[in-house]
Amino acid sequence: MAKTGDRGRARARTAPAPALAALDFALDRVSPVPLYHQLAQQLQAAIEHGSLAPGDLLGNEVDLSVRLGLSRPTVRQAIQSLVDKGLLVRRRGVGTQVVHSRVRRPLELSSLYDDLEAAGQGPTTQVVRNEVVPASCEVAAALGVPEGSEVAALERLRRTHGRPVALLRNYLPVSLLALDDARLESTGLYRMMRSAGITLHSARQTVGARAATPEEATRLEEREGAALLTMERTAFDDTGRAVEYGRHIYPASRYTFDFQLLIRA
Amino acid sequence: MAKTGDRGRARARTAPAPALAALDFALDRVSPVPLYHQLAQQLQAAIEHGSLAPGDLLGNEVDLSVRLGLSRPTVRQAIQSLVDKGLLVRRRGVGTQVVHSRVRRPLELSSLYDDLEAAGQGPTTQVVRNEVVPASCEVAAALGVPEGSEVAALERLRRTHGRPVALLRNYLPVSLLALDDARLESTGLYRMMRSAGITLHSARQTVGARAATPEEATRLEEREGAALLTMERTAFDDTGRAVEYGRHIYPASRYTFDFQLLIRA
DNA sequence: AAGTGGTCTAGACCACGTT
DNA sequence: ACGTGGTCTAGACCACTTC
């Protein structure tokens, strides 16, 4: 690269480049979507699209806010959200730059969506059991309800390419939502919860493995003693109430958990 | 509860109570730790200690900021950080309240700390292999380095109560940090990275299961064909560079992954 | 010394949920 | 109608990094 004279700002020797020259950001002040979110979305799009390459500097926040006609806190809020997502890095005295290796996927939820969402065309879900039962000791403890109180017990068999990939056993507080088989098989539990106004907030999971019992082997179309992945999970909504408890098994030959951890300082 | 006259603010019927009466918050404006962080810590302490019970309202942000002698954005920043942690819930028109079920643990990192930190008195770690080798195709792809370039190959056997609980096989870019066996066995990889100035930011994991091969069974002191948990992970630092790739196995009879997911809107 | 992000202030108006 | 959090502004000073 030729090192030509530069009337404006001197270019640092090591620094990648000024970057983010004049990408056009269209901010709609009438839109109900917040300005910081609009900006964040467009920055993210620029990163994913490649207009902003890994290592590129964003330019300082003050200039940015002036150029965009926004206040600095608003710009910071947008940038911060992308930093939280792992797309940008801030360094004092240096600037904000695009992360080097693109984050693989915003997969965030591990198998939670897999398990609850269903939906997709590939996998099919068959409701094997759907009834109201008194809560066992174990279920009651997980859901934080009195032992013996009524809970919905759900058992679903999920298949991909015609073969079983999961046996999902869920327990939910009754009166949380209506569980009809047809919707469960087509829509998925997760979407049913959302449309019932339930916002998932966190989940606690334990993943283990063991050999399949004869009965499990039969149902999952595996050999007896085949390796199974087991998962136990309690999900909580945004008020901290347990809304789902599940004990699931997966044939290890056809299923792995795949997820991304975000380390927070 | 007697319903007596109330000159001040009327008390809502369902609402728990005004709450957060006059907990003393000691803010040190000289301290290098930010005010919003000091406030967040003290709020969290009050929640964990029980001074703020689940469901308690915090009182509106404006009043709070006045009482604390802080600006509202600062107070909001503190509250927001606890909302992100799942300790508080905000509701428009209602207020901010303590989440109902206490979040179990801030475990956030699943087995990452387990695997990398070692440290603790219970588990011991034995370095079985520690050498520099040319990167295989698989390792090169995971770490984003050229195939055949030098990487550190590490193999450690971890025991609790004298029995193996994990066989950890790691690959790291050479020149990232010095890996001497003694420190690895006492300090743990994770702390060594931190003290080398490496800040972990995210990790991508795949967890599966399978039967142990004869050799694996021997090393993990298990029967041949016993169920194993397998985990493959690539960890990235805050600049997005891969800093660790691991292929680990765990005897399922003595190990489970246990972690908490935070769902982000 | 200069430039960057990190923190903080003191207001403002709006959207939403409750009453 | 009212009170709540949600958003936004236009500044200020500080701490850290690099030159």
Question: How confident is the model over A25-47, as pLDDT tens digits?
Answer: 888 989 999 999 999 999 999 98
**Mean pLDDT value across residues B143-171:** 91
The answer on B241 and B208 residing in a single domain is: yes
* Residue where a domain terminates, one of B51, B74, B98: B98
What residue in B sits closest to A83 (Cα-Cα)?
A: B238
Instruction: Please indicate, yes or no, if residue A59 is contained in any of the structural domains.
Output: yes
Q: Quote the CA–CA distance of A27 and A120 in Å, as a whole number.
A: 34
Q: Which residue places its CA closest to the C1' of nucleotide C17?
A: B93
- In this complex, the residue of A73, A100, A253 whose CB is nearest that of residue B240 is A100
The whole-chain average pLDDT of chain B stands at 82
The answer on A65 and A183 residing in a single domain is: no
The answer on A185 and A83 residing in a single domain is: no
> Do the Cβ atoms of B260 and A103 come within 8 Å?
no
Instruction: Please indicate, yes or no, if residue A209 is contained in any of the structural domains.
Output: yes
The answer on B93 and B116 residing in a single domain is: no
More confident position, B12 or B104: B104
CA→C1' distance for B35 and C7 (Å): 8
Q: Quote the CA–CA distance of A79 and B163 in Å, as a whole number.
A: 47
Residue A236 has a pLDDT of 86
Give the CATH number for residue A66.
Answer: 1.10.10.10
Task: For chain A, positions 64-103, list CB contacts with chain B under 8 A.
Answer: 73, 86, 89, 99-103
The answer on A206 and A91 residing in a single domain is: no
Give the CATH number for residue A177.
Answer: 3.40.1410.10
**Mean pLDDT value across residues B132-155:** 94
Instruction: Please indicate, yes or no, if residue A21 is contained in any of the structural domains.
Output: no
The answer on B143 and B232 residing in a single domain is: yes
> Do the Cβ atoms of B209 and A209 come within 8 Å?
yes
Q: Quote the CA–CA distance of A236 and A252 in Å, as a whole number.
A: 27
| CB contacts, 8 Å: B207 with chain A | 207, 229, 256-258
> Do the Cβ atoms of B103 and A259 come within 8 Å?
no
Residue B108 has a pLDDT of 46
Q: Is B108 on the interface with A (CB under 8 A)?
A: yes
Instruction: Please indicate, yes or no, if residue A226 is contained in any of the structural domains.
Output: yes
More confident position, A138 or B51: A138
CA→C1' distance for A66 and C12 (Å): 20
The answer on B118 and B90 residing in a single domain is: no
Distance in Å, alpha carbon of A111 to nearest chain B alpha carbon = 11
The answer on A177 and A75 residing in a single domain is: no
* Residue where a domain terminates, one of A72, A98, A124: A98
Instruction: Please indicate, yes or no, if residue B198 is contained in any of the structural domains.
Output: yes
Predicted confidence (pLDDT) at residue B109 exceeds the cutoff of 80: no
Q: What is the pLDDT of residues B228-261, one digit of tens each?
A: 999 999 988 878 888 999 999 999 998 888 877 7
- Number of structural domains found in chain A: 2
Predicted confidence (pLDDT) at residue B126 exceeds the cutoff of 70: yes
Look up the domain containing B152 and give its range. Answer: 111-251
Q: Which residues of chain A have pLDDT under 50?
A: 1-18, 106-110, 118-121
The answer on A129 and A94 residing in a single domain is: no
CA→C1' distance for A251 and D7 (Å): 48
Q: What is the pLDDT of residues B52-88, one digit of tens each?
A: 888 888 889 999 999 999 999 999 999 999 998 888 9
The answer on B182 and B62 residing in a single domain is: no
Q: Which residue places its CA closest to the C1' of nucleotide D19?
A: A12
Among A146-150, B17-21, B161-165, B200-204, which is the least confidently predicted range?
B17-21
Distance in Å, alpha carbon of B115 to nearest chain A alpha carbon = 14
Instruction: Please indicate, yes or no, if residue B152 is contained in any of the structural domains.
Output: yes
The answer on B63 and B181 residing in a single domain is: no
The answer on A140 and A204 residing in a single domain is: yes
